[in-house]
Structure 1
């Protein structure tokens, strides 16, 4: 829920700031700024909640903590790329692929009741997916519309 709130609030603020600076509305730029802001917000979680996020990764995958750090850095790089016109499309596709690849980790985490912020197994469980899967779709569509679609 927090990433969605960050996305929407930063979108509104970005629309207003861009309008104040350029005297025009640029919704796609505001949407990319908002997604970049949300990605920076979620990237912080990779460093603040490394133990809990590594619990979201299936046991068969090695180097879990390292993978959590790498994905956090990846989110930062994609956030920057979304703001550079030359890289916005490439960054958008990379983010969409990343979001699709994260879906199995979210399913695994919900099946095992992972609470990534506390690093425990007392999370919301499968109910979490009823929110998370539609949210992933929103993020994918948002990225496609603001970064890739001509």
Structure 2
């Protein structure tokens, strides 16, 4: 509601909270912002399937546990009458990951990777992220990295 609402705000009265004429700016680019439900438990996986746009398993799970939880999330989506094939699968990745790493994630069904720069320097962060995006053809560089 907040992302769709205008300057007059939106209201909501629910079990856990109430909002009265609340506004949220800026709005997500393109209108919707996908919600990825995270967690390392079976209930988190079921919540992702019932309510989320994606699942982001956390914790120190084995690859088999992650696979089973994503299957559980997809099953919960189907039970809720949602398109289980539309459920995205998010995982942490490394800024220095290779094409082989990305292909392995893709074989596991991963549709979104979250990576972070390895440096605290903002200029170097931008260069690292730009290099990652260029390496995997995610965007075309707009101009020189400063």
Q: TM-score under structure 2 normalisation? A: 0.24
Structure number with greater CO (CA < 8 Å, separation at least 6) is 1
Structure 1 or 2: more strand by fraction: 2
Q: Which has the larger radius of gyration?
A: 2
- TM-score where L is the length of structure 1: 0.24
Between Structure 1 and Structure 2, the one with more helix by share is 1
